[in-house]
Structures are given as C-alpha cells and as structure tokens.
Amino acid sequence: MSMRAPRGTADILPNEVKRWQYVESILKDICDRFNYDEIRTPLFEHTEVFQRGVGDSTDIVQKEMYTFEDRGGRSLTLRPEGTATVVRAFVENKLYGSPIQPVKLFYFMQLFRYERPQQGRMRQLNQFGVEVLGSADPSVDAEVIALAMTCYKELGLSSLKLVLNSLGDKESRQNHRKALVEHFSPYKDELCSDCQKRLNQNPLRILDCKTDRDHPAMKTAPSILDYLNEYSEQYFNQVKAYLDMMEIPYVIDQNLVRGLDYYNHTAFEIMSEAEGFGAITTLAGGGRYNGLTEELGGPNTPGIGFAMGLERLLMAIDAENIKLPIDSSVDCFFIAVGETAEKQASQLVHKLRVNGIQVDKDYQGRKMKAQFKAADRLKAKYVIILGDNELEDDIVNVKNMKTGDQTEVPLTDLVKTMQAELLGGSQNE
RNA sequence: GCGGUCGUGGCGAAGCGGUCAACGCACCGGAUUGUGGCUCCGGCAUUCGUGGGUUCGAUUCCCACCGGUCGCCCCA
C-alpha cells in the first residue's frame, strides 16, 4: 500500500470515535463544574512562539518540531505543545485586562512532534489541558491538580500516582543550580554525554536522567527542596495543605523536573500504575509558569496549567479494563419487501426521523432474512416491517427485537406509537 | 536519532524454493419464494508491505526502503 497515513498518525474510526466523544464529554462537564472556559488557538504559530515559550534548550524545540516556511517566507511551526499557544493568545488578546480574574481556560488540541512512534506516543497527538492565568494563589495550584485528578476519577481510573515537587522561584532555582554545578562538576567525566551538556545548560535535568540514575553522586545531590527560599517553601507547603484538605494523595519526588523551561514552583505529574501499561507511564504533566507571559511579550502574569494525553488516557482506560457506557445500538430498523413497499419506506423512514426517532434501513433490496440480520448487526431495538400484506391494510408490523413481540400498527399511528415505545423502553432500562 | 522484533484475504493465522496460497472468523448467496441470533451447502487472495538481487523457478533465500510493534532518549 502506497497511500498510507504518515508515520505516527492514526485514523480514528467510528467505533473508536464514540469512546473519544464519551471521554471528551466527561472532561468538558468537569470543566464546566470547575467553571473553566474553552479556548481554541491556531494549529500553527510563528516558530518563535515555541522557541521562546517552550525554551530553546528543550528536546521539543531542538529536535521535535514540525517547522516549515510558508510562501511568504515566514517560519511557522505546527504546535508541539499547548501552553505556549494559549499564553500567546492570552497576551495578544489582552485577556489580562479581563474583568474576570483569574482567567481559567481549557482546551482540546492536536499537537505535532517529530518522534519515533510507539504505543502512547504519536507524531500527531491529542491533549486536553487547562491553564489558569492571573493568580499566584496556592489554592489555584491545588485546584488545577484536583481538576486533573477528577478527570481520571470520573472516568473510573484508580491505579494512579500523583507526583509532586517544587522547583521554587527564580532565586531558589539559581541557588540550587549553583549547588548542582558544584556538586556534579567533579564527576563530569563519569556522567552520560547528555548530562555533560546539561551541566552547563540545565543542570536541574541531570536529576531526571535515567542513564545516570544509579551514579553515587545522584543520591547525594542537593535537593531543590533544601534550596527553596522562604516564600517558595511556604508556597509549596500551602499547596500541599490544600491537597491534604481535599484528600488528594500525592508523593513528593525531589527529582521530578519537567522537561520544559518555563516551569517554577509547583510541578506535578500523574502516572498510571496499571499492570501492562507499557514503558510510558506519564498520563499528564503540569506546573506553574510565572513569568512566561513576559517571555511572550505581555505583562508579568502568574500562570499554572497541565495537559493530559488523550491517547494515553484511552490506553489507561483499557489497561484498567474499564468499559465505557457507550450505546452503539439503533432504535429502529425499517424492513421493506417489494418495490411498492420500498418506495413508501423512504417516506416513512424520513417521517420518523424528523419526528425524533432514530431509524435505519436496507439500501440494497435484500431479502427479508438478510434485512433482519442487518437489523441484528445494528442492534436494532425495533424492526418495522412493511410488505404486501401490510400495504393492503395500511398498517405496519412493529417487532420488539428483545422480546420478539410483534404488533400491527396503523400507518397513521406509527410515529406516535414509536415515540411512546421508545420512551417507555428507555424508562425500563 | 539508536537497538530488538515483525509485515500473507475485512480480521486472525498456516505455508518457508517447485501446481499464484491451508484453516478459522466475518461477509455474500442458497437450502427455507415474508421474519433475526441454530444447522447444512456454496462463494470470497489476478501486488503474499515496496523495490532490487540470487535461482530454471521465490510468499518462501539475500539487500535496501517503507510501515507496525517493543525498548532507549525524552515526553502527553
């Protein structure tokens, strides 16, 4: 096959789409209760938005962006990440001037990253995320985390781990950075090549390295938590206190460093602990990014958010064997036999449809038996039969597929009868 | 970007140099000329991922590429 979807992309077929729609409806409903409003931003941005917003030293910017030049010579990039585009929109549209503060936003986005695909990692991926701009109150941090956890909980997931850390403010980070460089410099030659680079660029990320995880210097490395200044420490304590009050369990991981440059203070990750989930266990990640608005040309506005991968969310639902309540049945299947009946069927089917009843029919002039099979396949609740016998008496036979009961219904009463049947049927179930 | 593994009909899966290919499921038709989920019979691969090569001959051997999958890096 030569015409294939590009590597790392996937078609989501109707059956699967039903699951997505269900999940999306739950997430939207939660956002509604938390009073977050949806924002939609362009699929691509000026490349600079991500270079400045996400950070030049990050893997995303260095090797994962789909960047292209348009016919006007502009460098554009398919968004690899949500926060930078949302913050750009926040600044550009001066939402910092909105009378309602903070600004609480959610989004569903398709993102693009040039990576080697594997399960739970696609080149085109879907994320649901949330951003709150305009408040530096620790209760907001806790609320955002609570929102994320609520999403998983209401979808029935339970094998989850919330990992929490604080990266501190600028001053704390600088002090910690200095300590890290001093600590690791003597061992530079023993560290992996990535970490040798990180030592200069972003020593914090050495802590997150899997290659050097067992190096003795790791254990004794200075923890950011020991370098938090008073404000940062208090802030972190308050976030934890709010989570405790909401009874949201978490574990502290001093080595949790998020991959993007813009994070400070609260950083968190939600992982799946379900058996057989695969190597990639991160379901969602987020944190605070005070200062990012300035980086993108706006006034200094505090912000915090998270994003969760929807592909991974669906995977986790499967891994925990959760059956989503998806109704794939059709209410009625109309069976017509004979030319006259088939012609009249189209008319009756349309009449039922415009009166709010879900109906499907055969389109291939098949025999009654085959039409019944089709009705079964569609899990039809009722079959409506119109043939020569019925035509003579101006009636139709309505068969309840579950009970097998069949009754004659005058054509003039069909809509009314079906409305009554279907209403009654749903009440019983 | 690196490494392992795999690529046969709509799906699952045999064949592993020599009649262009078992079997199962699904689907279509018939037995049963107006009633489904059972049974029986029949039908259903003119590119065996793509392109080269070896050979008298390749789905079967070799190479490259493409793709899936698992892992590494990193992340959602």
pLDDT digits (tens, 9 = 90+) for A334-364: 999 888 898 899 999 999 999 999 999 988 8
DSSP string, A93-111: TTGGG-SSSSEEEEEEEEE
C1' of B66 to CA of A148 (Å): 39
DSSP, collapsed to helix, strand or coil, labels residue A289 as: coil
Alpha-carbon distance A292 to A262, whole Å? 6
Question: Is this complex's ipTM strictly greater than 0.90?
Answer: no
Residue tagged 């931003």 (tokens)? A41
- Per domain, the residue ranges of chain A are 14-169+229-319, 332-422
Res. A52: pLDDT tops 70: yes
**pLDDT value at position A303?**
96
Instruction: Establish whether the CB of A372 is closer than 7 Å to any nucleic acid atom in strand B.
Output: yes
Return the closest-CA partner of residue A250 out of A168, A148, A151, A172. A148
The pLDDT confidence band at residue A215, using thresholds 50, 70 and 90, is: confident
Scanning residues 233 through 292 of protein chain A, those with a beta carbon under 7 Å from any atom of strand B turn out to be 257-260, 269, 278-285
DSSP secondary structure code for residue A397 in this structure: E
The pLDDT confidence band at residue A427, using thresholds 50, 70 and 90, is: very low
Kindly state the average pLDDT of the residues A212-220: 77
Measured to protein CB atoms, the chain B nucleotides within 7 Å are 1-3, 27-30, 32-37, 49-50, 66-76
Question: Is residue A424 packed enough to be buried (19+ CB in 10 Å), middle (13-18) or exposed (0-12)?
Answer: exposed
Q: Note whether A296 and A323 are within 8 A (CB).
A: no
pLDDT digits (tens, 9 = 90+) for A293-311: 999 999 999 999 999 999 9
**The domain A14-169+229-319 belongs to what CATH superfamily?**
Bira Bifunctional Protein; Domain 2 (3.30.930.10)
CATH of domain A332-422: 3.40.50.800
Question: Is residue A216 packed enough to be buried (19+ CB in 10 Å), middle (13-18) or exposed (0-12)?
Answer: exposed
**pLDDT value at position A60?**
86
pLDDT digits (tens, 9 = 90+) for A190-212: 877 777 777 777 788 787 777 77
DSSP, collapsed to helix, strand or coil, labels residue A384 as: strand
Q: Note whether A199 and A188 are within 8 A (CB).
A: yes
- What does each C-alpha distance from A300 to A136, A174, A179 come to in angstroms? 11, 19, 28
Q: Note whether A169 and A177 are within 8 A (CB).
A: no
Q: Note whether A83 and A118 are within 8 A (CB).
A: no
pLDDT digits (tens, 9 = 90+) for A131-164: 999 999 999 999 999 999 999 999 999 999 999 9
Res. A429: pLDDT tops 50: no
Instruction: Establish whether the CB of A117 is closer than 7 Å to any nucleic acid atom in strand B.
Output: yes
Q: Diameter of chain A by CA atoms?
A: 97
Res. A184: pLDDT tops 80: yes
Q: For chain A, what's the residue count?
A: 429
Scanning residues 15 through 54 of protein chain A, those with a beta carbon under 7 Å from any atom of strand B turn out to be none
C1' of B47 to CA of A2 (Å): 11
Instruction: Establish whether the CB of A389 is closer than 7 Å to any nucleic acid atom in strand B.
Output: yes
Res. A70: pLDDT tops 50: yes
pLDDT digits (tens, 9 = 90+) for A248-276: 999 999 888 877 778 899 999 999 988 77
DSSP secondary structure code for residue A299 in this structure: -
> Residue A393 contacts by C-beta under 8 Å, 6 or more apart in sequence?
A408
**pLDDT value at position A424?**
61
